[in-house]
Structure 1
Amino acid sequence: MTQEFEMTDIGLMSYYLGIEVKQPDECIFISQERHAREILEQFKMINSSLVTTPIEVGIKLPKYEEGDVVDPLYFKSLIGSLRYLTCTRQYNLFSVGLISRFMESPTITHLKVGKSLHYLKGTLDYRLFYSSSKEFKLQGYYDSDWAEDVNDRKSTSEYVFFVGNTAFTWSFKKQPIVTLSTCEA
């Protein structure tokens, strides 16, 4: 694996394993724009129409959906590519995590939901921004649904934590047990 460095008008830029780091004075930008573009080309979605959200709001996907079966290798390749992009695109965690649940027997319905590449195309230039700050206020946001999975009634939770205005950790996780209350979820 090689690492490329080039000087740009905003400072030093490096590209390593699909992650681009640009570091002008006093801040850092981290993105995966080039890698996202490669994924769109690989899955022949570079000329697709744009959508405003990574997944339809309130969607419920049954595990054994009626319909044509999709090639599992193609589906796994799509999911793996999208999962890697969550390193810099935490807003995609929910949609990628949801469709990851159907890798053993994906159908056309699952594939259509997995084509959040329509959303990806409109967010190619999105990046994480980190700057120096004297503000060290820790903020965290947590959300959980309660038994929303139609297949096993398990809850899904997610969180993001900030120091100042900078997100430094985030997660999306399906709970290992069925919860009996919203507090437990």
Structure 2
Amino acid sequence: MGLLHYFLGLQVHQTEEGIFLLQRKYTRDLLNIKFGMLNCKLAATPMSISEKLQQVNEEELTYAKRFRSLVGGLIYLTHTRPDIAYHVGVISRFMQQPSKVHYGAAKRVLQYISGTLDFGIWYSKTDNFRLCGYTYSDWASSLDDIRSVSTNVFTLGSSVVTWSSKMQATTSLSTSEAEYIATTLAACQAV
């Protein structure tokens, strides 16, 4: 059958030096066919640094189904794009009652990925199989319930093998507590 080239929207490029996974075709279809944003104005980052999203008590979007479809497409894209995982996680909190602000934030992620179609994950050949993990917590980042977000990334050798961005189950009373919870979650992932 030969080498694997395409599987469930994942493009696989195998060489002597390693394997590169990306979702260029899936991303182009998402941008062009589903949302008509292939040639949109590009964004340098997936989300504005100063933007804090929260539930608003305004009327639900008339195109809420379109928002949910967009977020679902972005969630699938995070399989090879850890650079957008946190931002997609933030946006996906508002699936039940999206507003125009939430839809605008999701469209900004599309503007970012439109300029980064060739991003993916590179798994290079290596003899150094050292597991290395990084963790971070964003204390009280949710304006709705004052909960924190834990993020972690693990590499094996020089390649990313797992990443996560999750809302913490409890409300932290300090940045230290949020960091301890994030570190505990990362330690469980490492084990």
User: Shared fold (TM-score greater than 0.5)?
Assistant: yes
- Would you say 1:14 and 2:5 are equivalent positions? yes
2:65 equivalent in structure 1: 73
- In structure 1, how many angstroms separate the alpha carbons of the residues matched to 2:94 and 2:56? 9
Q: Secondary structure at the match of 2:11?
A: strand
- Would you say 1:166 and 2:159 are equivalent positions? yes
The farther-off stretch of 124-133 and 80-89 is: 124-133
- Following superposition, the deviation at residue 58 of structure 1 comes to 3.2
- Following superposition, the deviation at residue 13 of structure 1 comes to 4.9
Aligned-CA RMSD value: 1.6
* 4+ runs deviating over 2 angstroms: 65-70
Per the alignment, do residues 70 and 100 of structure 1 end up closer, same or farther by CA in structure 2, a change over 3 Å counting? farther
Q: Secondary structure at the match of 2:118?
A: coil
Q: Secondary structure at the match of 1:106?
A: coil
TM-score by length of 1: 0.89
- Aligned with 2:26 (options 15, 28, 35): 35
After superposition, give the CA deviation of every residue in 1:55-95 in whole Å (9 maximum; x if it has no partner). 11132112015477242211110000000000000010111
- Aligned with 1:141 (options 134, 139, 143): 134
2:84 equivalent in structure 1: 92
TM-score by length of 2: 0.87
Identity %: 41
Q: Mind listing any 5+ residue stretches in structure 2 that lack a counterpart?
A: 179-191
Could you tell me which amino acid in structure 1 is paired with residue 174 of structure 2? S
- In structure 1, how many angstroms separate the alpha carbons of the residues matched to 2:170 and 2:82? 24
Q: Secondary structure at the match of 1:56?
A: coil
After superposition, give the CA deviation of every residue in 1:101-121 in whole Å (9 maximum; x if it has no partner). 111111111100011100011
Q: Secondary structure at the match of 1:59?
A: coil
- In structure 1, how many angstroms separate the alpha carbons of the residues matched to 2:112 and 2:89? 16
Q: Mind listing any 5+ residue stretches in structure 1 that lack a counterpart?
A: none
**Aligned ranges 1:51-66 → 2 under 5 Å:** 51-64=43-56, 66=58
Q: Is the 8 A contact 2:71 2:91 kept in 1?
A: yes
- Following superposition, the deviation at residue 184 of structure 1 comes to 2.0
Higher strand share: 1
Q: Is the 8 A contact 2:60 2:97 kept in 1?
A: no
